[in-house]
Structure 1
Amino acid sequence: MPKLKPATQAARREHILDAAELCFARNGFHRTTMQDICREAAISPGALYVYFSSKEDLIAGLVERDRAEFAQRFAAVADGSDFLGALSELGNHYFNEQPVHRRTLCLEIALESTRNERVGEIYRAVDREVSQSFETLFAKLADEGRIAPDLDIPTVAKVFSLIGDGLFTRRVVEPELDMEPIIAGALNLVGKLLNVVPPDQVQASSKNAPSDVAAPSSQPAKAKRT
């Protein structure tokens, strides 16, 4: 039998992950069998096991796919000048545009991480990476004088994550919820948490700084990440 081209292999792998995603979201991790996923993907068990040897492997593949997508979307937040606007777009994607079954699956994986050691390791590793991404971003903004939170940066990042987790969970359990005003309210709260410095004040601070010395951050020393 001829070997499949890498592009064909990648497409089949994605197709299997799509099927697993639907099955896990619909029936839960424990009630879903490998046979269920084969039926959803319309493939034989042999074809499935070429790519994934267990349901845990499938979860790992799904989590990695989501992590890669998040990293790409987060880059727009980290590189943009209007980070609150970029955060709004990020929130709109995950709370509104993302398919319902994907949000349900995220909650299912989070719950399974409390019962399954391997799933827990996978979930917590990605969760740490996401949290670290925001912590690094907030530290950068503080160093640039664009935010001046009263709390230290690690605590700010943790509170921010908890706000996001709460919104996400509420969206899953109440799928008909109108998220637009809630996202706007959450961003207002995040703005106060970060204590965003108006752009004109940031620019004025930069102009007044000595040319051979970087403009001092308005962030208290205790808020800088170590």
Structure 2
Amino acid sequence: MWTMARVSQEHLDARRRQILDGAAVCFARNGFHATSMQDVLKEVGLSAGAVYRYFSGKEELIGAIVGEVLGSVRGAFEEAARQSPPPPPDELVASVLGTTFAARESLVVDGRPAFPRLVIQVWTETLRNEELAAVLREGYGSVRAAWGRIVEGYQEAGMMRPDVAPDHVARTMIAAVLGFIAQQSLFGPAPVEVLRDGLRALMSMRDDRAPSEGSQLG
């Protein structure tokens, strides 16, 4: 009996995954407004009853997809924040973003990864969907707080200058990640090593310019 129950739960989880992935592809392809539940049913090859057993409709599907992605990203950064010291930003971003992309690499639209396009669709949808906007705000706040703790870890370890507010660095790192995802959606795929190397180069900069007369103290 125990084995049967375990297999049954695995089947339910796999079916839910099938629905979420199919819906994500539909939304990435045509956007939320142009996608109907009939489109989702056709994509996943299931009956309406099978899909509605898991999700009440399109809005719940959207919320589940967004919540899942934000949850996985937040968890990865929170795990990094618990390390002492945390991994440097270039390695950390490449690891988290690489894992996020890899988990969704099977989702493809027109021969290109669906995930970056889905992110853009989510941003657009939040302008009219307050419930989704609330989910996104909560997720963004959690990721931002986790990054803030990571920066505090850098500062405590002497890896980063202490005179910059951790939240300012957190916002900048999130902006870099979101901008990289937007570039992929607009201009095509690029490996996460591109962002990693760019951050690494910026982190290596030194300013050896002589200070201007007006900036000298005394």
Output the TM-score relative to the length of structure 1: 0.73
Residue 88 of structure 1 corresponds to 94
Q: Could you tell me which residue of structure 2 aligns to residue 199 of structure 1?
A: none
Please tell me whether the aligned partners of residues 95 and 168 of structure 1 are also in contact (alpha carbons under 8 angstroms).
Answer: no
Contact 2:97 2:192 (8 Å CA) reproduced: no
Letter in 2 for 1:89: S
Residue 24 in 1 paired to residue 37 in 2?
no
Structure 1 gap segments, 5+ residues each = 193-226
Tell me the equivalent position of 1:189.
202
Q: Deviations over 1:51-85 (max 9, x none)?
A: 11121100111122213322443356433754342
* Superimposed CA distance per residue, residues 84-126 of structure 1 (whole angstroms, 9 cap, x where no aligned partner): 4233333444578853101111111111011111111112111
SS in 1 for 2:56: coil
Q: 1:31 to 1:184 in 2, by over 3 A?
A: same
Alpha-carbon spacing, 1:191–1:103, altered in 2? closer, same or farther (3 Å): farther
Secondary structure at the counterpart of residue 51 of structure 1: coil
1:162-208 CA deviation, whole Å, 9 max, x = no partner?
Answer: 2222222112101155664453123333566xxxxxxxxxxxxxxxx
Q: State the partner residue of 2:16.
A: 13
From 34, 38, 58, give the equivalent of 2:37.
Answer: 34
Cα distance in 1 for residues equivalent to 2:41 and 2:168 = 44
Q: CA deviation at 1:24?
A: 0.3
3-state SS in 2 of match to 1:5 = helix
Q: Distance in 1 between matches of 2:60 and 2:187?
A: 30
Comparing 150-159 with 34-43, greater Cα deviation is found at 150-159
Structure-2 separation of matches of 1:52 and 1:167: 31
Paired residues of 1:91 and 1:183 also in contact (CA < 8 A): no
SS at match of 2:128: coil
Contact conserved, 2:74 with 2:142, CA < 8 A, in 1? no
Cα distance change on mapping 1:124 and 1:81 into 2, 3 Å: closer
Query: Structure 2 residue aligned with 1:166, among 179, 187, 199?
Result: 179
Q: Conserved in 2, the CA contact under 8 Å of 1:88 and 1:187?
A: no
TM-score normalised by the chain length of structure 2:
0.75
**Residue in 1 aligned with 2:129?**
116
Distance in 2, Cα, partners of 1:43 & 1:61:
18
Secondary structure at 1:14's aligned position in 2?
helix
**Contact 2:26 2:39 survives alignment (8 Å):** yes
**Residue 105 in structure 1 maps to residue 118 in structure 2:** yes
Q: Please, which runs of 5 or more residues in structure 2 have no aligned partner?
A: 106-112, 206-218
The code of the aligned residue for 2:148 comes to: E
Distance (whole Å) between structure 1 residues aligned to residue 203 and residue 36 of structure 2: 41
**RMSD of Structure 2 on Structure 1 (CA):** 3.0
- More displaced, 119-128 or 88-97? 88-97
Q: Percent identity?
A: 27
Give the secondary structure class of the aligned counterpart of 2:65. Answer: helix
